[in-house]
Structure formats: C-alpha cells, structure tokens
Structure 1
C-alpha cells in the first residue's frame, strides 16, 4: 500500500489551543448478566482493532493473555484510514470476512445512523446484527477480565484482581492523563505554551514511573496487571513515533534505563511483544497525521534489535502470571509478519 492511495485526513491540531480528547464513548457493556442487553456469549461479538492504535493494542494484549481467542474473534483494520473511517484493507477485497463490511463506520451507522463522533478502535461489534456495541476501550479490557471469566483459558492471569483495583485505577488514571494521552497533548498542541505544559507533565510522570519501577518489577503488586498493559502500549511506540513525530524529545525510551528495561521485560513476555506491529505503528502516525507530516514520509528507523536484549528485571522478583501460566503461541492468522517485528 502506498501513501498516495490515502486522502488527507484533516487537521488534528487546533491553532492556539491544547489538545482535548473526546472521551464520550459508547458506554454499552457486554456483561455476564447482560444488564445492557448484551450478554457474554462465545461467537456473538467480534473485536475490531488496528495494530497501529495504542488503545486497540491494549485489547489485543488482554484478549491474548486471557486466552479469549476462541470466544471472541478479532478483525484487524489496516494501519491508515481516510477522513471517513478505519477500513478492512488487509482483508481480501477490502471486506471483513465475518462482518462483511469494508469500513468500521458501517457497524457504527448500523446502530446509530448518522453517528457523528469518532469511528474508533477498539470496537466490539455484534456479528448477527452488524451493530457496534461499544468502543469504550478503558472499560472493555476490564470487562474482558471480569465479565468473560467463564471463557478464560486455564492458567489465565488475574489482570484486575479485586484487592488491587483501587491502586490499579489510581495508577492508570495518572498514566492516562500524563503519558497515554500526554504524548498526544504534546503532538497535537496548538500553541507553544500548551506543548510545554504537556511536555513537562509527560516527563515528570515518566520520572515518577522510573522511581516507582526502580525497586519493583511491575506497576502494582508482584504480577502483571491492567496497569502494565496500559503503560506498555505507549512505551512501545515512544521511540518509533512519539519522540520525533510528537516532539516528546527530552530523551528516547532507550535513554531512560529503568523504563527501557521495564518495557523490554514486558515486550519479551508472551502476549505483549508478539502483538506489536512496528510497520503499522509508523505508517499510521506518519501517514495519517498530514498536518504534522505533510510529506507522509515514514522514517526507516529506529533500530529495533534492542527490544530483544534481556532486561535483567527478573532480579527484582515478581511472577509475571502469578499462579497462572503464559499464553500459548498466537493463532496462525493473527501472527504479526516477522518483517514488522523486532526480529525482522
């Protein structure tokens, strides 16, 4: 796919203003008791993602760690999109083979004709009706952990253990504000002052995370939790796109020893690095954000070999999966092409 095949997608920066994310997502939930009319049922829903997107990457990781592949199928959009919608251009004929649609917007419009907010991933779509159920990415992964338990694999980890939820939520809130969304506030800042505020908060929070992770292997407790998933998807994109494209350039991740080792530890954990497609990540940011990168030239770097260097973090203790076990290999149809990975 060439960059020339995509329309300019419009501006992401509002001159003179700071970036404000629209967080009014579709709050319908898929739950064990079906309280919103959508009960958990194997095969009833399809998780639509894009490997380029950090918010969708969370759902891909959690689904894989919990072993939900057999209960919840996954459709993968291409790395770029036009003004209208994410598209299924990776599939034969540009149509999702399960939903039978070329654009994710078709699922949104099937439930909400004329839907005016963003057509975002991840999204859960009801297969029979072709209607979007939810795109509330933060609640979605928590529900995969708590509402889909009956369909978890044997040995699935406790990513949202009840006794740690308050701490996980508190850490995740800070990480979202200053890091997950903070990089966007830098990149899409419409004024120097807005950029500098976001930049300061981002690196102050990264310094705070460095201190926290210098003496413990994981963010909360001694096992992997939802908090680690949420931080990882930003860190793994940091040097590839946020450092340069979003001007988050006090340091590269590779120049922050504690966070770099932490990110490598996660990357080398089954279910994390094997979901990451660096080619899709770079093509998305550098092609879609034409107001930041009007040439749509995608950088060749950075060198990815360092992601496979042992982290040494096991010396801090901790058990990645607690009393559980690692997930098995990815489904054959969901393997990231080798040339798009650190091993490529």
Structure 2
C-alpha cells in the first residue's frame, strides 16, 4: 500500500521519499470509501453504490504489499477466485504508481493498462492522493472503485457471502465483532503501522517513541497468544489475517530495514510458533512471496536504502518447521474446510516461498 504520488514528467524515475526529517511518520488514511454491496445502495456519506456482481470487478494486489496481501488471503480462504479476478503488479514502483511489469507487454491482461494509476485517473483525473494497492477496479469502465483496504476484506466476508465456496470459514463472525474490532484497531495502530512508524521516523525521538510502542504491543500479543491458538475466538478470523502479513515480513524486512530490532520474530517463541501455524495453513504461506517482499522494500525505499541492495537472507526453511500450536486446541476453519489448490496462474513463483 505504499503511498505513491504522481507526476507528468515522463522521465521521472525516483521511487519516492518516505521519511520527513525531524518528523514522525503519519499515514494518509483518506481512501476512496466506495463499497461494493449486495444491494448496491449509496454509502452513508453519499458514496456511489456498486452492486455485487460476479466477474465485474478486478482486485489489484501486489504480492509485496502487506495490505494487499490481506485481500489475496481472504479472497482465497473464501473461494472468491471465480467471481473477483486478480491482477498483480510487480514488487517495485516509482513515485507515480505500481506497474504491471511482470505481465506480458508490461500491461494488465484484463484492464490493458501499464499502471494502476490509469484506473485512478479514469475516475478521478489528476487524483491527488496516494495511488495505492489493494484497489478494486470496475472492469467495464476501467475505473477504480475503492482502495479502502480494511473495508475490502470485511466486505468480502459479508457482502459477497452468497458467492463463498462451500466450506468457507466465517472470518468476521457477528458474535466476535466487538472484540475483533478492538483487537484489530490496536494491531493496526501499534503493529501493522507501528513498524512503518519506526522505519520512516524522521528523528531519533520519533523513532524511540515508535519503537517502544511497537514492542509494547508485540509483548502484549506474545502474552495473549500464549494461551490461545488464534487471536480472537478459536478459529482463524480476519484478525489473524491482519496480523499475519506483518509477522511474515518481520525478519525479512522490518527487523533490519525498519530498525525494529529488539528481537527477531524467530526469537519470540509464541509469536514465531503462531506465525508458522498460519503460514502452514492453506491461504497464508501459499500467497506469501518473500523475494518480491524484499525487492519491494529494499529497492523502493531509496531514502532508507540508497544502494538498492537486496539482502539474500534470512533462511526461510524454518517457516515449515513444527510449531506445536495444535496443543492449544482450536479449529482453523471452524465447521468449514481448507481452500483447495491455488488457482493456476496465481501461484507463488517457485523459489520465492519457504519450500
């Protein structure tokens, strides 16, 4: 979800600046708040209504981005592959936009565009905010519908329910929503975004404060998950998806690149076992591309890593080691079943995972 800006200079190649000297990092959370709903009714604030319609929308989600990775995991767990297509930009972008540089002719094969920026501009010419992923695009018009990543996954669970696969898990159960919303809020502010506050801190004081907040939250999670297999309830939920994508990137990126280095994830016994438990669950590890993750952060963040050198480590085979979390009970998919094989064409590139 890196916040890219745009420019009309065709020679512009700078990846973008992420650190403001002397200041703490503040994420722009003003997204396009349109929603795709069962009845297609306008939003509470007058946003256009978009109806649920199989085949109409395309999810644009880079494998490298943790916020986009969430949507890919949820789409797979719920079995929405046949009703919402997937476009995947490459791991890097410039200051204008994510690009489809891995596709033939460097264009998305469905939308026919080189940059996700084009879908934003078709709806909002000169769109002034961040050109982010994940984004959902209306295929008939080529216009972006929404980039509001927290709502996208919740709507996959609720508004698209009639198209879930048989045996799909209940990722946002009504009886757990109050607790889950509170947990998700803390995880977002202190962990998901907390690593960025460390990495993009513009002063020692801002970094120190962000570091302390992050590790306070990670210690809380270490304690919470010591007695329960999943974050909220006894099955995998939206809360686990949201935490997982940060944990998966922790040792590969955040520990060193973002200076979140009190400990590695692999040195926190509970969180490390929890992360491996999820990674080895269909839908999680099979959507995680460590090569693209490292390429994104170490190449794009020029002001943090000006050489663009991408580290070769860490070793990944330990992601597949025994975790022992079954002893805590819990049922990964509740009364449902795991998803089937990854859809052809959506597999993680061989050698990019932990196998």
Which residue does the alignment assign to 1:286? 298
Counterpart Cα distance in 2 of 1:10 and 1:112: 22
2: CA distance between counterparts of 1:7 and 1:312? 47
Shift of residue 247, structure 1, vs aligned partner: 0.1
- CA RMSD of the aligned region, Å? 1.0
Ranges of 4+ aligned residues in structure 1 off by more than 4 Å: none
Deviation at 1:11, TM superposition (A): 1.4
After superposition, what is the alpha-carbon deviation per residue over 1:196-219, rounded to whole angstroms, capped at 9, x for unaligned? 111001001000000000000000
2:81 aligned residue: 69
Q: Which residue of 1 aligns with 2:35?
A: 29
Residue of 262, 269, 275 corresponding to 2:274 = 262
Question: Which of 300, 307, 324 is equivalent to 1:295?
Answer: 307
- Post-superposition Cα deviations, 1:142-175, rounded to whole Å, max 9, x if no partner, equal 0000000010000000000000001110000000
1:106 corresponds to which of 118, 125, 149: 118
Q: Where do 5+ consecutive residues of structure 2 fail to align?
A: 1-10, 43-48
SS in 2 for 1:186: helix
Q: Aligned partners of 2:206 and 2:247: how far apart in 1?
A: 22
User: Which of 236, 239, 243 pairs up with 2:248?
Assistant: 236
Q: Deviations over 1:68-116 (max 9, x none)?
A: 0000000000000011100001100000010010100000000000101
Deviation string, structure 1 residues 108-142 (Cα, Å, up to 9, x no partner): 00000010111100000000000000000000000
Counterpart check, 1:86 vs 2:98: yes
1:14 & 1:41 partners in 2: Cα distance? 42
Q: What displacement does 1:258 show? A: 0.3
CA positional deviation for 1:7: 2.8
Q: Which has the higher helix share?
A: 1
Normalised by the length of structure 1, the TM-score is 0.98
**SS across alignment from 1:172:** helix
**Gaps spanning 5+ residues in structure 1: where?**
none
Equivalent residue runs for 1:182-331 within 5 Å: 182-331=194-343
Aligned pair count? 339
Cα separation, 2, equivalents of 1:234 and 1:300 = 19
Q: Partner of 2:191 in structure 1?
A: 179
**Shift in Å, 1:6:** 9.5
* 1:10-49 mapped onto 2 (5 Å cutoff): 10-36=16-42, 37-49=49-61
